[in-house]
Amino acid sequence: MTTVEQAVGWRDRLGEWLRERISVAVSEVTAAAALVVLFVALSLASPHFLTADNLFNIGSQTAVIAIIAVAQTMVIITKGIDLSVGSVAALAGVVGAMVVRDLGFSVWEATAVAVGVGASAGLVNGLLVSLARLPPFIATLGMMSAARGLVFIVTGAVGVYSLPESFQLLGNGVIAGIPFAIVVTAAVALAAGHLLSQSRFGQHVYAMGSNLEAARRAGIPVRRNLTAVYVLAGVLVGLGGMIAASRVNSGQPNYGIGLELDVIAAAVIGGASLFGGQGRIMGTLIGAFLIALVRNGSVLLGINIHYQQLIVGIIIWAAVYFDQFRRRRLESRG
């Protein structure tokens, strides 16, 4: 190789490297920019936005959306979708509240029970997808209805109240000045991020979402892994549901209706692709924060809740359109 060729090769390689990095992180960077813009805009638009109380509120609201969005992200990476997150979170929340009220469980024991409820629902979802081979959309649509039905059956459609002060620990507690829920979220995100990006299991999850047949031929136990992803997602949904119940110090049978849209939006905004194989926890966290801000800002600015729904719908369209556009461009290069 001559020096001229080397010089050209060096520049080409730098260019390629930059293009590669940008294409990997483009959703995250875009979402982060949108987040900053929205944050500044809300600070200017509402005097109540930059108050300690409100920021705390946003923090714990973000926590619930973020934890469940992390669960959704893992499922989306496998080319699946989990529509049952709202119902399962509600089920975990009311059961967690009921064992405290009726059986005198501590808040920690109740959290373990709630996580168990979520994991069980996740196991059913996972088996329906991997063994019964139902499309994830259908499997989790069924669970969405079934879990909500269970919520109303166990509670008699009445909220679970009369809970001790300690029940609020997860949702409203503070540790070293930081909302406890944020600490939990950070731990969850760190663990999930490492699992996805650094472990063999994570690598296989991406591979399965990218090309299931390739993964199978490579000797990856795809059914077991797929089931494990739904169980893990269920664990996080159960935890999220418990935090949500803790925030309002009660188990609410109607909690989480439409939550699936918020968390799918959060994941997709952050770069998770509904076509599978793509998605990162960092992006999902940014997306969750963005969604929480949209919700919070709408309330502060007195925007009707129905308009919030409209806004989230449009965000989902835009994010998925953007993802498709990006994929098409990549494919046309190949």
Partner 1 sequence: MSGEPVLQARGIVKRFGHVEALSGADLTVHHGEVVALIGDNGAGKSTLIKVLSGVHPPDGGEIRLGGRAVAFASPVDARRAGVETVYQDLAVADDLSVAANLYLGREIRRRGPLGRIGLLDKRAMRRGAAEALEQLGVRIPRVTTPISMLSGGQRQSVAVARAVIWATDVVILDEPTAALGVVQTRRVLELVQRVRDAGMSVVLVSHNMPQVLEVADRVEVMRLGRRTARFTAAEATVDDLVAAMTGALTTESLD
Q: How far apart are CA 88 and CA 95, in angstroms?
A: 10
State in angstroms the smallest separation of the CB of 215 from partner 1: 7
Site for partner 1, residues 184 to 213, rule: CB under 8 A: 194, 198-201, 203-204, 206-207, 209-211, 213
Site for partner 1, residues 6 to 35, rule: CB under 8 A: 13, 16-17, 19-20, 23-24
Backbone φ and ψ for 160, nearest 5 degrees, come out as -95, 110
The tokens for 114 are 């709630």
Closer residue to partner 1, CB minimum distance, 157 or 190:
190
- DSSP assignment, residue 178? E
State in angstroms the smallest separation of the CB of 207 from partner 1: 4
Does the footprint of partner 1 cover residue 1 (CB under 8 A)?
no
Burial class (CB in 10 A: 0-12, 13-18, 19+), 102: exposed
Q: How far apart are CA 67 and CA 155, in angstroms?
A: 25
State in angstroms the smallest separation of the CB of 19 from partner 1: 8
Among 63, 88, 215, 228, binds partner 1 (CB under 8 A): 215
Q: How far apart are CA 139 and CA 75, in angstroms?
A: 13
Judged by CB under 8 A, the number of residues near partner 1 is 33
Q: How far apart are CA 256 and CA 247, in angstroms?
A: 13
Does the footprint of partner 1 cover residue 56 (CB under 8 A)?
no
| Torsional sign, CA 211, 68, 201, 283 | positive
Site for partner 1, residues 240 to 299, rule: CB under 8 A: 276-278
Site for partner 1, residues 108 to 127, rule: CB under 8 A: none
**Where would I find the H helices in 218-278?**
222-247, 259-269
Does the footprint of partner 1 cover residue 218 (CB under 8 A)?
yes
Residues that bind partner 1 (CB under 8 A): 13, 16-17, 19-20, 23-24, 194, 198-201, 203-204, 206-207, 209-211, 213-215, 217-220, 276-278, 330-331, 333-334
